Amino acid sequence: MKLFEYQGKEIFRKYGINVPKSFLIEKKDEIKKIDMPFPWIMKAQVLVGGRGKSGGIKFANSMQEAEKNFDEIMQMEIKGERARKILVEEKIKIEKEYYLSFFLDRSSRQYLMMFSSEGGVDIEEMAEKVKKIYVNPMIGLQPYHLRCLPKEARNIASKLFKIFVENDCELAEINPMAVSKGNIIALDSKIIVDNNSLYRHPELPKETSELTPLEKEAREKNISFVQLNGNIGVIANGAGLTMATLDALNEFNGRGGTFLDLGGTDNPEKVKQALELIVKAKPKVILINLFGGITKCDTVANGIIEFMKKNETPTIVARIKGVNEDIARDMLKDYVIAVDSFEEVAKKAAELGD
């Protein structure tokens, strides 16, 4: 889960990392309530990089300029994403900039601290100047690691590492980390938390702006659901079968869009919820590919029929194999296009979705 800049900075404050004075606004009239002398920096709050190059970070020297900036930022699209909030900060006089981050390096199974004496630019642009220091998770950050950094950066590195570990982060980054009047200040924040650890962190913000409204609805119902561009909705059970189905569709030039993993459930209510979500995504055709091991095929069929009796549904192509498949096939014969072969079900869905 990616955190917005303002959310990351709230965490920084809790751990004693200095950040600029700031105000978060959503509406234009909130600008006049900001009690902070000019000049300001106004930053679009989006979950993608490259805000500065896209015009999502602007300076304001007057109220009139701030209002103009607000309109421009809220109307722009940054890598396909629109800002819903703007972080207004005091402008800091920068004497020097650093880059600092902790990253989960899966290839080495270690934490990786990265530091550069040049901050404020993309990490890719300064790769040769980045100092990489591996940290064994079993022993954590040690004094000898910190001695590789300038003295003024060591304390903030310790605090950032604590944030990284205690919040189950995949990435905790400050870029730029500025020296101003003898103080170290985090001018930006980038934090990515491992989704699998969220149950341990009820204190973390629950905003999911990176999800579509349907994906948010699915998460609330505890359903694995991803909405992509395409005209074929896929329902399967198990991540492996779901991905294999998408691959098979691709083989026949089918544009698989929304896909949903039912997991091991055969609860008719869950099946109906799954179909409801898929239908809301407005696919041209729905492909259902289920293997009933734990899942009973006839129970799944019952959920499909109950939904279709009460709702308008696109054409459904189904391949259902496993426990009670004969019963399920007989139940569904008047409702779906039944196909036995994995290859044929993908081919048929691709043809109907064309």
Q: Could you give the CA distance from residue 291 to residue 235 in angstroms, rounded to a whole number?
A: 11
Q: What is the pLDDT of residues 163-193, one digit of tens each?
A: 999 999 999 999 999 999 889 999 999 999 9
My answer on whether 43 and 108 are in the same domain is: no
Looking at the 3D structure of the chain, how many domains does it have? 3
Q: What is the pLDDT of residues 207-245, one digit of tens each?
A: 555 677 788 888 778 888 888 778 899 998 887 888 888
Q: What is the pLDDT of residues 334-347, one digit of tens each?
A: 999 988 889 999 99
My answer on whether 166 and 48 are in the same domain is: no
My answer on whether 183 and 263 are in the same domain is: no
My answer on whether 187 and 268 are in the same domain is: no
Q: Token pair 């980045």 is at which residue?
A: 130
Q: For the domain that residue 80 is a member of, what is the CATH number? A: 3.30.1490.20
My answer on whether 170 and 83 are in the same domain is: no
Query: Which sign, positive or negative, has the C-alpha torsion 38, 15, 145, 113?
Result: negative
Tell me, yes or no, whether 206 lies in a domain: no
- Are the beta carbons of 270 and 300 closer than 8 angstroms? no
Residues with a catalytic annotation lie at: 99, 173
pLDDT the model gives residue 210: 62
pLDDT the model gives residue 348: 92
> Among residues of the chain, what percentage have pLDDT more than 70?
95
pLDDT the model gives residue 1: 85
Q: What is the pLDDT of residues 270-294, one digit of tens each?
A: 889 889 989 988 899 999 998 877 7
Tell me, yes or no, whether 207 lies in a domain: no
Residue among 182, 186, 180 nearest 93 (CA): 180
The residue out of 63, 90, 117 marking a domain boundary is 90
